[in-house]
Amino acid sequence: MKAHLTRRYRFSASHRLHNQSMSPEENLATYGKCNNPYGHGHNYIVEVTVSGHVDSSTGMVCNLVDLDGFVKEQIVDRYDHTNLNMMDEFQKLVPTTENLCVEIFDRLQKSFRPAKVERVRIEETMMNSFEYAGGRELAH
């Protein structure tokens, strides 16, 4: 029997949406107030959905302690209270929440076992959320 498990995590980070290959006017037209030179921050809520066969002895898709520990180490501790623009993965990518979603998905998918990472959903604000389930290239 295959089942899905979704867990929620939180971290706070700042970013500035700015593309070096665009003029200041193009950046402002594209990103609006999110292009503020001083950046701005969000309290992100990240949902991680994993799937797998339900273990007959534990009755679980995966051990929640293992998932929580992995996400804390690989995601929450990495991004919490950071400026996303300063992270290695965003040196050539605009740190939009779409790109952050893909980065988190890829980081989890590469190393988390035994369950399969199905999707990552990030709530940036009460009005904006982003979801990625693999299969697309990063936006440049």
Name the catalytic one among 26, 124, 131, 137. Answer: 124
| The one catalytic residue among 53, 81, 89, 140 | 81
CA angle 6, 42, 100 (to 5 degrees): 60
Q: Given 4, 18, 34, 118, which residue is catalytic?
A: 34
Q: Quick check: is 62 catalytic?
A: no
Q: How far apart are CA 41 and CA 64, in angstroms?
A: 29
Task: Mark whether 89 is an active-site residue.
Answer: no
Nearest-Å Rg of the Cα atoms of the chain is: 17
SS3 of residue 112 by DSSP: coil
Question: Cα separation of 30 and 24, whole Å?
Answer: 10
Residues annotated as catalytic are 34, 81, 124
